[in-house]
Amino acid sequence: MSTPRTLPQSKEALLKSYRTRLKDDVKSMVENFEETVKLAKGEHDTQLSRMTQCEQDTYEMHVRAANMVRAGESLMKLVSDIKQYLILNDFPSVNEAIAQNSKLFRTKQTECDQKLMSLRDDISADLHDLEEEYYNSINK
Amino acid sequence: MSYSVNISVEAPIENQIQEITYDGQEIYQAPLTLSESLAKYAQKIDFSKIKTKKEPGDTSDDSKSDSDSKDSFQSNLWPWDSVRNKLRSALQEVCVLADVLAIAKDKRYMVLDPVQQEPVDTKPIVQMYARKKALAGAANVLLTGAERLKNSQNEAVQNRSNFHFELLRLRQNWRLKKVSNSIIGDLSYRTAGSKYSQPGIFEVTKAEDEEKPSSPPHSPLPGATPSVKSYSALRVTVPSELQGVAYISVLCQKDQEDLFSTNVNLLSSGPSTTNPDVHWQQKLEAAQNVLFCKELFNQLAKEAVQLQAPIPHMVVGNQIMATVLPGIQLIIGLCHSTSGDKKVPAATPAKTEHDHVLEHSLHQLLREVHHRNTHHPFPHPASGPLGPSKKRSLAGPNATDRYDLLEMTKSETLLEQIIKQAQHFFMRIRIGYVLDTIAKEVKDPLICSHWNSLNSPTQSCVKINIITHGYDVVYRTPLVIHIGEKTLKCICRDGKVMHMSYEPQELRDLIFCHINQHQILAVQSLAKIMGWQYLANSLHLGIGSVELLGNASSCILASPNGDRLIAVRCVPSQTGVQVSVAHSPRSDFFPSRLVTERKWEHLGGQFRDVRLDKMEGRNFLHKMELLMASLTSRNFLHKMELLMASLTSNS
């Protein structure tokens, strides 16, 4: 992580696109908010009649609010995308998980092996005794 | 009339006040000129209304066209009729407008004058109110949006089992990659060294069904669902050919009769996997198992076709048939059930609880192949997936000859290996059976067999001790039998190595020979302990009746002072042991015509058979011991008597 790695072209582009998406969304939020505030001031002279102007302002405000919400959801999507990207491409952590898993399984394996070995030793010793007993007995 | 006063009627000065200066003077707006007022009034006329009023024909035309359009609509003559009419009138108006503009541009016949608009007085409070309402609407939109975001955020925090956590867990165990918009996983064994071509690809999606859409309004619901059921936010789609449960069934048949069968299923404990609610881990493991079984079977089938065995292997449908030993077939089948009921392929009832060794070793063998494919011995080229084997690397320095090199290139296929294991398995069963039956049949020398616990899938070892009960210190005959795939190797007591085939009769014969030998040799060593000496010993007696099996063996023992002889003759078949006794010289001597002197009695005399079955004693050696003891003691007593007699005569 500390050493900057050279990423392939596509990954680089993807990361850049994430960055631009972030900037765009934030910008869109800010701009829309500013515009809404400006609209609320209501200081603009137009050729339109007041009522029409009011209607237009209302509509514009709604649209801008919806835009802000959209930008927010887009940011959420971006977060989820980045999470997904991190999960899928975070090879160091995956390697760590694999190493941990393999270590776990190896210890389990040795444990099982040891248990099996001791079991085998016990059983073979017992089997020897039992065989001895069986073949020496009359009842076969 | 002269008083008539001219009354001038004029409009009051109602000009609007434009401004009131500080000195109280009012500045009026200039009154409208005539032309201006004309324009103003003219502006108020709604020409379209007038037109419609004045030209009833036009309206009738309109209505007609309407009715026309209706008719056409009703009669479905031409549905675009009304559109055409509208377009036509629009074109007309545009043409008129263009004409008017063209005329007005000339400024000769028509002048366009601006008409002063009357300011519409809207109260600022209304405007304010409108703006407030607009802002409230916008705020509402924002709030609902924020609520939704908050909800989803809360859900993510509350539920640990959300999509990303699951994905992370999935990623830690399986290979995943992103292809455009979907996440594709790989469950094949290719990274572990498999070369099977079937792709084991699965798709990961977010679970969005009945539970998910209902979650935003009822936020506690998704929090409760994981506890109720193993609900996961992640869904795994496995290709249809990898769904279900698969296992390799290994079955051994002896002339159409089942000897034993192995029905193993790595995930036998797993419930019906067709259930979509099964956790993805189990689903993927099942799919991977299916893939593995398919690869294994594919490999085996390929080998079965390619291998040229004396009795060709058969591949029919999902079954491979191979002959293990004469009359015994190994049947390997692939059972794959995609439906929930897995009882259907289980065609072998009752015997399924047999050991699963062969199936397990099949799995093991394929895994070994995988391992070999990925793990090349060093040194090997860093880039290449191939490398010479360790033996091959050493072949140069060791100056290996052509024969060895050729030997190196040979490798065993999975099928060969599994057949060998099956052969060995049968050999082991047969040997065990033979040894047990012999131990049951032969009571006198005890036959103890001890199976070695250290063995390989194709080699095991059994140690046999032939001893006589109570005399195990006196003499014992140890035998070691190495059981291979189709051969037996027996290492005898004297170090001789016997090679035998898979026929159990051969081993049986060998053991009987050894029992026979054991009896003779045990008698000899017992004789040594008893102070007797053996005069002759032959393990392969050339005289006497011809035996069914091998040769009879015999020995002759002499008592300590040499006046008694015991002859033992052992026959490998079950007729047993013959024991004869001879006295020389006889204790009593009666001179006859032929034998006039006592000294001739030393030449030995007639052997008389001993009826062993009537004798006391637990077993043959015990009886022999008693016999020897009795002969010795009588002899000894006789000597003592003589000694006493001589002593009394001397005195």
**Reported ipTM:** 0.77
* Per-residue pLDDT band at B201 (split at 50, 70, 90): confident
> Does residue B96 surpass a pLDDT of 90?
yes
**Amino acid at residue number A122:** D
Helix, strand, or coil here: B567?
Answer: strand
* Residues in B touching A85 (Cβ below 8 Å): 178
Average pLDDT on B408-427 reads 84
Note whether B130 contacts A57, CB cutoff 8 Å.
yes
pLDDT at A110: 96
- Range A6-16 average pLDDT: 80
Give the separation between CA B494 and CA B496, rounded to whole angstroms: 6
Tell me whether B224 touches chain A (CB under 8 Å): no
Helix (H) or strand (E) holding B316: strand B314-316
Chain A contact residues (CB < 8 Å to B): 36, 39-40, 42, 49-51, 54, 57-58, 61-62, 64-66, 68-69, 72-73, 76, 80, 83-85, 87-88, 94, 97-98, 101, 120-121, 123-124, 127-128, 131-132, 135-136, 138, 140
The C-alpha of B385 sits at a distance from chain A's nearest C-alpha, in angstroms, of: 22
DSSP letter (8 states) at residue B579 = E
Residues of B in contact with A131 (CB under 8 A): 448-451
Residues of B in contact with A98 (CB under 8 A): 172
Residue of B586, B566, B576, B577 lying closest to B627 (CA atoms): B566
Grade residue A121 by pLDDT with cuts at 50, 70 and 90. Answer: very high
| pLDDT of B62 above 50 | no
The β-bridge relationship of strands B257-263 and B476-483 is unpaired
Q: Which amino acid is at B535?
A: L
Closest listed residue to residue B526, CA positions, set B450, B464, B579: B579
User: Can you tell me the mean pLDDT for B237-259?
Assistant: 76
Q: Which one, of A77, A72, A36, lies nearest residue B147 by Cα?
A: A72
> What's the rounded mean pLDDT across residues B118-124?
65
DSSP code of B8?
A: P
Spell out the residues 6+ positions from residue A135 whose beta carbon is closer than 8 angstroms to its own. Answer: B439, B446, B447, B448, B449
Q: Poorest-confidence range of A14-23, B208-217, B466-475, B610-619? A: B208-217
Shortest CA gap B185–chain A (Å): 10
Put simply, the answer to whether A42 touches B134 (Cβ < 8 Å) is no
Give the pLDDT confidence of B585-604 residue by residue, as tens digits: 666 667 777 777 767 666 66
DSSP assignment letter at B114: P
Rounded CA gap, A74 and A71, in Å? 5
In three-state form (DSSP H/G/I as H, E/B as E, the rest C), the secondary structure along chain A is CCCCCCCCHHHHHHHHHHHHHHHHHHHHHHHHHHHHHHHHHCCCCCCCCHHHHHHHHHHHHHHHHHHHHHHHHHHHHHHHHHHHHHHHHCHHHHHHHHHHHHHHHHHHHHHHHHHHHHHHHHHHHHHHHHHHHHHHCCCC
Chain B CA closest to residue A68: B142
Q: Where are the beta strands (DSSP E) in B47-134?
A: none
Mean of pLDDT over chain B: 76
The pLDDT score that the predictor gives to residue B604 is 63
Q: Is residue B254 predicted with pLDDT exceeding 80? A: no
CB of B521 within 8 Å of a chain A CB? The answer is no
Identity of the amino acid at B167: L
